Structure 1
Amino acid sequence: MRTEVARGVNHGLRWVLLGLVVVIVATVSVALYRGVGAVTGRQRCSATVGGHTVHLSPDQARNATLIAAIGVRRGLPARAVSIAFATAYQESKLQNLDHGDRDSLGLFQQRPSQGWGTAAQVRDPYYATNKFYDALAKVDGFETMRITEAAQRVQRSGFPEAYEPHAEDARALASALTGYSPGGRFSCVVDSPDGHGTAAATVTDLERAFGSLRTTGTVRDLVLDVGTGPAARRRGWSVAQYLVAHASTLQVATVSFNGRQWQAGPDSKKGWLAHSTPRGRVSVTLA
């Protein structure tokens, strides 16, 4: 009798353990499928809009702010940027990949064999993002479609619903990075600069993403005049947050805009703090 009971207990324990394994695997799979997975490391970025927070690695943040910047430059609605983010989340986890299914490459896993461009072109994030927006602009009514439907019209994936789990993250990130949710909704924890940046290199980088900017300043102190209207403020926040995401590569020490300032190093954990800054101007200090 005891042997039979022991067998029953062992059998039950095996099923319990098997159930736990299934739950753990399912949880991990969902976490990896939704968004970009866990972000670890000392340096990291996040955007918080409407109580929803999106976490990004520095590399993902640089790619995200570039996708947003090109959308702003082209005058596209935030919805277009949301669709681009959901697509890049699903296709590459917002990383500029040098591999993929068959000949798929880059942020959007575009295939040279399908007419997206050469292998070198689709791995250029500026080219790839513009090609994505070119294709999206040809989709009638993309502004009112579900995000996954609009993305699928561009990508023609074998898994047409795969983009929808990323929609919430994509909307929050797009709202922050295009300036529709102002006030420094996006921020990064970044080490103090370990080199020296220049105003010339920073302007070149910014104008490649945003187009022509009105700038003044010295070698390491730069002022960008973005204007004061609602659209200008949105663009100003997009520029300011782009600079934060690219602080490590451009050697940015501080960014100030619209009464707030972000500072690299230990204070970057505090995000955007109140600061007396002229309206309509993004001010940047380089190390």
Structure 2
Amino acid sequence: MSESTRPRRRGRLARSTAALAVLLGLASYVAVHQMTGSKGAPRCSVGSGENRYEFTPEQASNAATISAVGTTRGLPERAVTIALATALQESALRNIEHGDRDSLGLFQQRPSQGWGTPAQIMDPVYASGKFYAGLEKVPGYSRLPLTVAAQKVQRSGFPQAYAKHEPDATLLSAALTGRSPAALTCTTGRAEGPPGDPAVFRAELVRAFGAKAAPKAVTGGPSAGRSAAEPVVLAVPVRAAKGTGSAPGAGSDERRGWELAQWAVARADTLRVVEVGYGGRVWRAGEADGGWSKSAGPLAAGGESVRVRLAQ
């Protein structure tokens, strides 16, 4: 072996050793996060076992808006499922500012095709309303295969793509329309941050569900003439939209209550919600699994209102 060969081999050995160290470090990082379940990372889920869909708080917030706009229009759960599957395919339930050509938003609607201005399309409430308006013009849409109904509204270049999202969209719509009680769980990962604003919560609730959903009672906080350290609890009235929907129990007060409760959980990260109570159960943002627990306390009384506590 020549003297000139030895340094080159030593160099290769050093590089190989460094690369192996990086790989071992990466493997250790992944293993630790798998064992800890990435504790603290915001996440939401519906379903259980193999029939489970996990998603981010951002996606949950957008899904909740899509569902609320549909039920407020008096549309059945099937319409919500179609809308959610469409948004899952078009944007992965993210309100994105880009897309094919001039496509924008949750449904990748195009200003040049008459869907609205860019600012309007980037508003999830507006975009959802435009999708449902198109769906309502499709004769017998609730009896059509999902991908056919969605394609008649979207006119996509990939018309079969919507079908693969139907199972996840079905889980989401069952929870967000209230048919599946306490089915949507979230951990917000925001133990610290600004306090929740009752006015913002009320405005978002009314935009999604209409004026009848406005909270009728506010306790705590300086606006109520009390100490700023006292929790802010909103009472959201449960009023079923009688005669809407097509599933068994649609239009019932209990289903309406769970719809409102799970909307609040889905939007907890952005609206600074830390507790939601209804039907004898309470969801708390601080719980490790983000789930619902049975409670006999006043927050979980249920009946005439959904109780929501905001961050202080």
SS at match of 2:47: strand
**1:189 maps to 2:187:** yes
Q: How many residues align?
A: 247
Give the equivalent residue in structure 2 for 1:216. 217
Q: Select 2:261's aligned residue among 240, 244, 250.
A: 240
Structure 1 residue 246 displacement after superposition: 1.7
Give the equivalent residue in structure 1 for 2:88. 89
Structure 1 residue 247 displacement after superposition: 1.4
SS at match of 1:174: helix
Give the equivalent residue in structure 2 for 1:253. 274
Report the Cα distance in structure 2 between the residues aligned to 1:133 and 1:41, rounded to whole angstroms. Answer: 36
Q: Select 1:226's aligned residue among 238, 256, 265.
A: 238
Report the Cα distance in structure 2 between the residues aligned to 1:147 and 1:240, rounded to whole angstroms. Answer: 27
1:147 counterpart letter in structure 2:
L
Cα shift readout 1:12-65 (whole Å, capped 9, x = no counterpart): xxxxxxxxxxxxxxxxxxxxxxxxxxx997110011179621111111111001
TM-score, L = length of structure 2? 0.75
Report the Cα distance in structure 1 between the residues aligned to 2:284 and 2:83, rounded to whole angstroms. Answer: 29
Report the Cα distance in structure 1 between the residues aligned to 2:271 and 2:57, rounded to whole angstroms. Answer: 13
Give the equivalent residue in structure 2 for 1:157. 156
Q: Which stretch shows the higher mean deviation, 233-242 or 91-100? A: 233-242
Root-mean-square deviation (CA), in Å? 2.0
Structure 1 residue 248 displacement after superposition: 2.1
Matches within 5 A, 1:1-287: 42-48=41-47, 52-182=51-181, 184-191=182-189, 192-212=191-211, 213=213, 214-218=215-219, 219=221, 220-227=232-239, 230=249, 231=251, 232-265=253-286, 267-276=287-296, 277-278=300-301, 279-287=303-311
Structure 2 unaligned blocks of 5 or more: 1-37, 222-231, 243-248
Q: Which stretch shows the higher mean deviation, 46-55 or 70-79? A: 46-55
TM-score, L = length of structure 1? 0.81
Q: Which has the larger radius of gyration?
A: 2
Change (3 A) 1:240 1:144: same
Structure 1 unaligned blocks of 5 or more: 1-38
8 Å contact kept, 2:120–2:126: yes
Report the Cα distance in structure 2 between the residues aligned to 1:40 and 1:115, rounded to whole angstroms. Answer: 44
8 Å contact kept, 1:258–1:280: no
Structure 1 residue 204 displacement after superposition: 1.2
